[in-house]
């Protein structure tokens, strides 16, 4: 879309003008010094209730949330700027008190860390012990990693990162093939000093074997791929109006925040001419990657990629024909840099249609009726690069009312140097002298539900065998056992494939075609939970990943699975803290949170770039509709399809071929 499009709806992201005004108003009203930076600038969104009032004719104020940090002293403030009234509310965050916490790491800080580390004499001495020369130092790659928290004095209330180093032969060399093991510089981002330098007693030489992935490394790509085009001669089937999208009875608004990246608002589906809400707001609010190696370079690694870096801030500019294939609609996203200056994140969100095989099919041999319909899905996606890893987030909408989120995990693994003749004990070997630490990836999706509008109830169901008896004389009967999640502490739960445990969000105030509450079911994929000890700091900080399902009563302040500021946080915030309030969640305005992920034991195939691994979940209508709503799909066949034996189009090229036997 045109990035300077006028704001037309209260959920539209802040425009470039609004970002500029909000920052200017905040700086002016609070007379902010030039040492202030702005790690987060976003729309402070109206609530469900606000929007209901808006639809009745109320005017809503446009609010901007700005996180402001003075990098001369670390003082941090949350500001809300009312752009409509020109007023500001501004509070200082007590980040110098337990449980601490810090704003996410800013890009401008990445740049200063390198200079700070490389000028520290202790760091220079430590890397030289490992064979690094003065000539090597300018090319050394420094990764400022979010530090974790272990209760040490230099962590408490401090804005620190732990920096690890990689040798490179030249700037295009893949540093992750050459980790400098046993050297960690803890850098205070406010004083720009190395406050602690770990120089492990064990000296492991730097692996020097090159493992690159740039196209020059593979000058002779495989020759036997023919072109594959996805063509929509009449354009796509969706319509876009600003941030609003309509497609195949679906309707939603696109949003984007610095922390979460892509957000879907007011997702609903038209059924017999009536728009029925399903999800009020859907996003991934956190992801954490805890590492399972106890040695100096790794034990503290547990990047909270949303809360400590910002998935939205690190979104890629997507390339036509490479990242997305076919007839693409891009959304450019207005954003603010660390200085609060507005800029456009070009092609940050990609939307297109995809063929998805068969949606439904039947051949009735008795009467010759043969019907098949292909499935098409709408894909709304973005990709974020967080240091070594790259994550894609793909929302899919289907013509039968299904909603899906798929996370794609790719990029470069963390690596560890291994001495010749030894085997890496904390993960897998990926090459000579190179190990990959075992780790887990956990995502958490926050789904503010709105099934048929109004209040919802979440129920848990599983299939259990019925005992032998008069009502089960052949032993074949099994039952569905259900429980209502009445209060928040009823809700934290694990999935169980053996009993097919699932959760359903229903609207108990409405009856469906068979007299029950209309609902949507969350279908979870087999997924690990966090295996770190419950009282370890990473489990305290990322407790959301200890359970697959959480349900909370909506509170506008509870936005993120890991709490507001997980960076250098002592733990206890986020979902485990939210549910302690044990609020009523039956027939209430509820938020369903789902943790899912992947346990990654590294292997040679993960290097130098790991093929995409998938994790995610599906929301499926369950008694929401009166029948399969995709029965009315047109029976046209695809006229561009070819019988390879004939090498001729199968029908005329008007797109009026018929599926299939007529
Ligand atoms: Ni991994």
* For residue 4, pLDDT beyond 60: no
The whole-number pLDDT of residue 8 equals: 86
Question: Are 380 and 330 within 8 A, CB to CB?
Answer: no
386 Cα to the center of ligand 1, angstroms: 12
pLDDT digits (tens, 9 = 90+) for 219-243: 999 999 999 999 999 999 999 999 9
CA of 294 to the centre of ligand 1 (A): 17
Phi (first) and psi of residue 194, to 5 degrees: -80, 115
How far is Cα 625 from Cα 400, in angstroms, rounded to an integer?
A: 10
- Mean pLDDT across the stretch 483-509? 97
Strands (E), 399-518: 403-411, 416-417, 427-431, 434-437, 439-449, 457-465, 478-484, 502-506
The SS3 call for residue 374 is strand
Residue 600 has pLDDT above 50, yes or no: yes
At 270-326, the pLDDT tens digits run 999 999 999 999 999 999 999 999 999 999 999 999 999 999 999 999 999 999 999
pLDDT of res. 111: 87
Give the CA-trace dihedral at 120, 123, 125, 126, to 10 degrees: 170
CB 248 within 8 A of CB 378: yes
What share of the chain has pLDDT > 70, as a percent? Answer: 97
525 band by pLDDT with thresholds 50, 70 and 90 = very high
Measured CA to CA in angstroms, residue 403 lies from 217, 258, 281, 493 at distances of 40, 24, 13, 22
Ligand 1 centre to CA of 15 (Å) is 36
How remote is the CA of residue 391 from the centroid of ligand 1, in Å? 10
Query: Do strands 389-398 and 416-417 pair parallel, antiparallel, or not at all (unpaired)?
Result: unpaired
Query: Which residue ranges form the domains of the chain, and what is each CATH number?
Result: 2-93 (3.10.450.40), 107-217 (3.10.450.40), 244-293+327-361+377-622 (2.70.98.20)
- Helices 121-128 and 107-118 cross at an angle (nearest 10°) of 70
Q: pLDDT value at position 649?
A: 54
Residues 89-107 have a mean pLDDT of: 97
Q: How far is the CA of 436 from the centre of ligand 1 (A)?
A: 9
Q: State in Å: Cα 441 to ligand 1 middle.
A: 6
**Could you tell me the sign of the dihedral formed by the alpha carbons of 63, 253, 7, 55, in that order?**
negative
Query: pLDDT digit string (tens) for 15-72?
Result: 999 999 999 999 999 999 999 999 999 999 999 999 999 999 999 999 999 999 999 9
Q: Model pTM?
A: 0.96
Question: How remote is the CA of residue 526 from the centroid of ligand 1, in Å?
Answer: 16
Q: pLDDT by residue (tens digit) across 644-656?
A: 888 755 555 554 5
The upper half-sphere exposure of residue 155, i.e. CA atoms within 13 Å in the direction of its Cβ, equals 19
- pLDDT number for residue 636: 87
Q: Report residue 1's pLDDT band, with 50, 70 and 90 as the boundaries.
A: very low
Q: Give me ligand 1 centre to Cα 418, in Å.
A: 19
Note the pLDDT tens digit of each residue in 322-372: 999 999 999 999 999 999 999 999 999 999 999 999 999 999 999 999 999
Which residues participate in catalysis according to the annotation? 305, 389
CA of 438 to the centre of ligand 1 (A): 8
Residue-level length of the chain? 662
Task: List the shell of residues around ion ligand 1, using CB closer than 5 Å.
Answer: 600
535 Cα–ligand 1 center, Å: 23
Secondary structure (DSSP) of 580-618:
TT--B-TTB-EEEEEEEEEEE---GGGSSSEEEEEEEEE
Mean pLDDT on 115-122 = 98
Mean pLDDT of the chain: 96
Measured in angstroms, how far is the CA atom of residue 341 from the centroid of ligand 1? 34
Mean pLDDT of all residues in 507-513: 97
């Amino acid at each position: 879309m045109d990035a300077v499009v006028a704001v037309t709806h209260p959920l539209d992201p802040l425009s470039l003008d609004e970002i500029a005004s909000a920052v200017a108003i905040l700086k002016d009203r609070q007379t902010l010094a030039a040492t202030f930076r702005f790690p987060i600038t976003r729309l402070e969104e109206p609530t469900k209730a606000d929007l209901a009032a808006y639809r009745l004719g109320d005017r809503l104020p446009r609010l901007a949330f700005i996180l402001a940090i003075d990098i001369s002293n670390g003082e941090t403030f949350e500001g809300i700027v009312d752009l409509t009234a020109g007023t500001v509310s501004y509070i200082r965050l007590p980040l110098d008190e337990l449980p601490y916490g810090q704003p996410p790491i800013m890009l401008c800080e990445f740049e200063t860390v390198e200079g700070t580390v490389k000028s520290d004499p202790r760091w220079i001495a430590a890397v030289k012990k490992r064979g690094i020369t003065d000539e090597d130092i300018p090319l050394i790659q420094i990764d400022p990693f979010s530090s974790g928290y272990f209760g040490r004095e230099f962590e408490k209330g401090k804005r620190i990162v732990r920096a690890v180093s990689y040798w490179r032969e030249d700037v295009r060399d893949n540093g992750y093939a050459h980790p400098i093991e046993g050297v960690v510089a803890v850098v205070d981002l406010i004083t720009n000093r190395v406050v602690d330098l770990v120089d492990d007693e064990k000296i492991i030489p730097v692996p020097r074997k090159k493992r690159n992935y740039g196209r020059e490394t593979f000058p002779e790509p495989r020759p036997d791929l023919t072109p594959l085009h996805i063509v929509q001669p009449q354009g796509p089937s969706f319509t876009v109006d600003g941030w609003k999208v309509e497609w195949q009875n679906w309707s939603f608004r696109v949003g984007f925040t610095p922390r979460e990246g892509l957000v879907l608002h007011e997702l609903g589906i038209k059924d017999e001419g009536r728009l029925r809400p399903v999800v009020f707001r859907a996003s991934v609010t956190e992801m954490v990657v805890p590492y399972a190696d106890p040695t100096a370079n790794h034990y503290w690694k547990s990047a909270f990629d949303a809360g400590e870096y910002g998935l939205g801030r690190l979104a890629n500019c997507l390339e036509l024909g490479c990242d997305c294939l076919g007839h693409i609609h891009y959304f450019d996203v207005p954003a603010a840099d660390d200085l609060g200056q507005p800029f456009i994140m070009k092609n940050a969100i990609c939307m297109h249609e995809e063929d998805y095989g068969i949606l439904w099919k039947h051949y009735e041999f008795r009467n010759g009726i043969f019907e098949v319909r292909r499935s098409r899905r709408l894909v709304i996606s973005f990709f974020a690069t967080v240091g070594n890893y790259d994550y894609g987030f793909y929302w899919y909408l289907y013509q039968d009312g299904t909603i899906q989120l798929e996370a794609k995990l790719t990029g470069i693994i963390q690596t560890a140097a291994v001495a010749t003749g030894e085997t890496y004990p904390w993960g897998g070997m990926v090459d000579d002298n190179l190990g990959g630490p075992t780790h887990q990836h956990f995502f958490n999706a926050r789904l503010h539900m709105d099934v048929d509008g109004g209040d919802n109830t979440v129920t848990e169901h599983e299939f259990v065998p019925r005992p032998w008896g008069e009502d089960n004389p052949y032993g074949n009967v099994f039952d569905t056992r259900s429980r209502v999640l009445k209060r928040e502490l009823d809700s934290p739960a694990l999935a169980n494939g053996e009993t097919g445990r699932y959760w359903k969000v229903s609207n108990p105030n409405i009856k469906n075609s068979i007299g029950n509450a209309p609902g949507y079911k969350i279908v979870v994929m087999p997924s690990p939970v966090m295996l770190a000890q419950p009282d370890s700091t990473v489990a305290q900080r990322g407790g959301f990943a200890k359970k697959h399902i959480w349900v909370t009563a909506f509170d506008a302040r509870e936005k993120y699975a890991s709490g507001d500021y997980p960076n250098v946080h002592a733990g206890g915030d986020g979902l485990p803290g939210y549910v302690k309030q044990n609020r009523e969640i039956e027939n209430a305005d509820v938020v369903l949170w789902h943790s899912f992920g992947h346990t990654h034991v590294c292997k040679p195939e993960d290097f130098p770039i790991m093929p995409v691994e998938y994790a995610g979940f599906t929301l499926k209508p369950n008694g929401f509709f009166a029948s399969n709503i995709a029965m009315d799909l047109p029976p046209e066949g695809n006229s561009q399809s070819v019988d390879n034996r004939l090498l001729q189009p199968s029908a005329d090229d008007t797109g009026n071929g018929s599926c299939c036997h007529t």
